[in-house]
């Protein structure tokens, strides 16, 4: 499967988010120099051909909400993956003051 340059860059940046941390769709878009492209980042992550290898479960909404997840069981699976990595998920949200990664 071939991916666009945009998607490849999204996957590259997402792969830098360490276990136990999350980032946001907007943070990735801003790092790419496209601050209004957070939805496009989400679209690229929905099409991620290698989930877990490219840890798209570590990308959340600007308010810490889990957003979507393309895995078979959706956001409950995303929450489970994040918790397994040490990220606290409460009420469908991650506390960004504790778990946000921006050091791309």
Q: Which residues contact 18 (CB under 8 A, 6 or more apart)?
A: 101
Tell me the catalytic residues.
56
- The per-residue DSSP string of 3-44 comes to --HHHHHHHHHHTTSPTT-BEEHHHHHHHTT-TT-HHHHHHH
Do residues 33 and 40 lie in contact, with contact meaning Cβ atoms separated by under 8 Å? no
């Amino acid at each position: 499967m071939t991916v666009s340059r945009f998607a490849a860059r999204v996957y590259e940046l997402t792969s830098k988010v360490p276990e136990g941390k999350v980032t946001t769709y907007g943070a990735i878009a801003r790092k790419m120099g496209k601050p209004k492209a957070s939805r496009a980042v989400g679209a690229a992550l929905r099409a991620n051909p290698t989930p877990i290898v490219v840890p798209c479960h570590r990308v959340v909404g600007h308010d810490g909400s889990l957003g979507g997840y393309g895995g078979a069981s959706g956001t409950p699976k995303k929450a489970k993956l994040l918790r397994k990595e040490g990220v606290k998920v409460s009420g469908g949200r991650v506390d960004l003051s504790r778990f946000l990664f921006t050091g791309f």
